[in-house]
Amino acid sequence: MSEQGLRESVELMRERGLGPEAIRVFEHYFEQLEAGALGTIPEDSIEPLGDIQALGEVQVSDEEARAALSKTAVIKLNGGLGTGMGMTGAKSALEVRDGLTFLDIIALQVLALRKQWDVELPLVLMNSFRTSEESLAILEKYPDLPVEGVPLDFIQNAEPKLCPDGLTPVKWPKDPELEWCPPGHGDIYVSLVTSGVLDALLAKGIRYAFLSNSDNLGATCDPDVAAWMVEHGVPYVAEVCRRTKSDRKGGHLAVRKSDGRIVLRDTAMVAEGEERFFRDIKRHNTFNANNVWVDLEVLRERMTQKQGVLGLPIIVNRKNVDPADPSSPEVIQMESAMGTAIEVFEGSEAILVPRTRFRPVKTTNDLLVIRSDFFSLDESFHVVAAVDGPEPYVDLDSAYRFVSGFEKRFPRGVPSMRDCTSLRVIGDPVFGRNVRCVGDVLIDGYRRVLDDAVLGEVSAGAAAPPVAPGEVRTVDEHLRAILSTLEPAPTQWTPLTEALGLVVARDVRAKVDLPHFDNSSMDGYAVRADSLAGAADAPVRLRIVGEVAAGEQPTFSVGPGEAARIMTGAPMPEGADAVIAVEDTDGSASGDVECRTAVTRGRYVRPRGEDVTSGSVVVPAGTVVGARTLALLAACGHAEVEVHRRPHVVVVSTGSELVPPGEALGAGQIHDSNSSMLWAAAVNAGASAEMRGAVGDSEQDLIALLDEVVATTDVVVTSGGVSMGAYDVVKNALAGEGIDFVKVAMQPGKPQGYGLLTGPGGRRVPFFALPGNPVSSFVSFEVFVRPALRRLMRLTPEKRRLRPATLISGVESFGGRRQFGRALVSRSAEGTLVAVPVAGQGSHFVADLSRANALFVVPEDVTELVAGEVVDVLLLDPEA
């Protein structure tokens, strides 16, 4: 064991005033950590939860409910700071709706229950030292809330963060409080004892406690659960809800095979490689709502018996000592989860509750919905849906991630969501007053949403319906079907040298002042401005007391009648408040310097923080990293930046006739040009890419290659093999594997394939099957793949903008198809765009494709355009 690390940690905890129970719990987990405990629960050690009691089937009388409620207290976990939403204070102090904070609503819910059932029902907050003062100040407006003999709050314990090497307490002089962390919300049981609150509640005749998170406004103290718990003598009850696809990351309950006890398995407790079992919503069909009910007498008995150490499963978290600084040292935090106590109490049960009891606000996406008119507060201050149907799905861009950015973009309130099924915002538009969302809404690239706007009459985000054989999709339908399956790529901290062209995921603040110190903007002499009073009338001589070059720190000061020779960028010496330029002097290097002009205080001095002050936002979320952005980030002390990850694309061409460029051609063979073209197009779109060469007409070879690449790539693009031929290998191999092969009303590029391949751990990899003719393949990439890659990177706009250009010669088009022709676009003498269609418009003309710098677009209902007409063009080269 790391005796030194344990000894130092315990001593620090004693100095902080933490009780013996908290220290024993820390020692318990320290020993487990030292022994290599990972806190994981393998799938083969558990079985699904099985049938459980549903709250809707519980029937209790009013008297039973009142009697149970009279012996119950409400305890809210209230130590969260909302750092994930960019907050620094108590998250529960955030206004959520109708001018009320989380704590206001919780207090009003408790007061309403007291009035309805004529019971005392104490409310107690488990605060951290960072949230206590602010939270209690909010509750002061409710003078009837405190219950005599029971405190309104208690402070959860703290423990040292540990260095991975040696398991000694970390030292962080910049902010010593960051050397400490809470031991997870499983600490609530220990803190109830060490704070004396457990004894206080039992002394008041309170037998049961309802524990839940303060940001879950659906977690009200339901007397039916309390009465059911009393009736059946259950010592511990965990609430669970039915699991959907959106809950696959949430922890679930299961039955341990070894002893038949119910256990909680959270995301951090999944064994490596078993994520697919954890996310299987058919096998594990409920999730833990983190609302629990505890028999306090049984808790007291267990705590006494175990000397404060319940023995909850350890959770080993590895983080940075400063969560906001990825360059700060890595530390280990030993934690436990409140819900894991279910395995400690013999006879524990789970109860199935409706989804309405799980309405946490973890992100600004959740905040938008809870503030909207989709919800309202009833007379008991319960959050209730104003309309039937599922809650709308919301996905806001990274600019809205923090509350500050969210508030700036909804200055007049959030939009109406009563008739909305989904809202996806790409970019960072500011919303006006009385905006209404209807159905599926996609906002892409707007700068502003006007007052009274109604969004969503045209469904922009919904997946296209299944296509029957022979049915043709429009271009827009196929693109919507693709985009509806895609979520922006996860964020990651990336070195500045690898972040070019990526989107910043969160506001970046300066680590230092710019300039970092007062410095000279000229070569000259640092002086006191008062020393040169009258120098414009007659030269003044000052004694040179030193010299300062850039990069040096002056060790002297400048007094009255003195000067210091100084170079551009050098720090100002103490006492000097101005610089006289060398050309206004005689340029002496020693002795005295003759100064021929007066200067004002601050002349030629760059004051500290003049450009940027430490802690200010220098690069907002949503910014695309460019050369100038990199310069600013580096100057402000950042070596890395959190961005939306660059997707990796694997390009595969198909066809036995293909040979690599440079090799001799045999009979009937051609060089593989599509791989190089699609690789370059992917890189040009901002992705990373690799070519896997050509695969012949063997389905087995293609499947084997795809099985290999889905483990490491984010997107797969193939060309060829998607039409109706006997050797169309892609279509033949994947038609039954979840890939849709469709006809799209476009020219060129009619045959298309798209779907999601399944990789290890259930990861889903977008798969594009493009036609084999080079022009068809290129156009298909531009129209479908490029927007998808930009969505993954959160780049806006996703599609190239259409620009008007005048046709120099006429063109013909197929009726019922959108034509994408190749053209050479240039500017006329008047500055307008003119388009010259290239001679060869066939889908195999590679030379004409290479000469074109734009695609002209002929709508489906137009069959002919004559010279002089205006046509929309997509510029492929930015300089066009």
Residues 777, 719: contact at Cβ < 8 Å? yes
Count the neighbouring beta carbons within 10 Å of the beta carbon of residue 786.
21
Q: Which residues pair with 360 in a beta bridge?
A: 216
Distance CA 143, CA 114 (A): 14
Instruction: Say whether 375 sits in a helix, a strand or coil.
Output: strand
State both tokens at 652: 């595969």
| All residues at 6 or more sequence positions from 875 whose CB lies less than 8 Å from its CB, including other chains | 800, 803, 825, 853, 854
Asked about 115 being catalytic, the answer comes back as no
Q: Within a 10 A sphere around the Cβ of 648, how many other Cβ atoms?
A: 16
Q: Which helix (H) or strand (E) holds 350?
A: strand 349-352
Residue environment code for 451-473, b if the CB has 16+ CB neighbours within 10 A, otherwise e: eebebbeebbbbebeebeeeeeb
What span, in angstroms and rounded, lies between the C-alpha atoms of 652 and 199? 69
Q: Which CA distances in Å does 832 have to 247, 804, 805, 870?
A: 53, 9, 7, 11
CA distance 579 to 576: 8
Q: How many other C-beta atoms can be found within 10 angstroms of the C-beta atom of residue 201? A: 26
The strand order across the sheet containing 454-455 reads: 393-395, 416-426, 436-444, 454-455
**Cβ within 8 Å of residue 334, ≥6 positions away:** 26, 29, 30, 33, 159, 162, 183, 314, 315, 316, 317
Contacts of 321 (CB under 8 A, 6+ apart): 161, 170, 172, 178, 179, 328, 329, 330, 331
Contacts of residue 56, Cβ cutoff 8 Å, sequence gap at least 6: 354
Beta bridge partners of 293: 210, 237
- Tokens 């008047």 identify what position? 830
List of residues 6+ apart from 791 with CB closer than 8 A:
426, 483, 486, 488, 798
The whole-angstrom separation of Cα 779 and Cα 760 is 32
For 10, the enclosing helix (H) or strand (E) is: helix 3-16
Q: What is the CA radius of gyration of the chain?
A: 34
Dihedral sign (CA 373, 379, 383, 388): negative
Q: Which of 204, 319, 362, 511 is the catalytic position? A: 362
Distance CA 121, CA 114 (A): 6
User: How far is it, in rounded angstroms, from Cα 706 to Cα 20?
Assistant: 57
DSSP result, 767-794: EEEE-SSHHHHHHHIIIIIHHHHHHHTT
b/e map of 54-74 (b: 16 or more CB within 10 Å)?
Answer: eeeeeebeeebbbbbbbbbbb
Name the 3-class secondary structure at 544: strand
Tell me, what DSSP letter sits at residue 282?
Answer: T
Residues designated as active site = 362
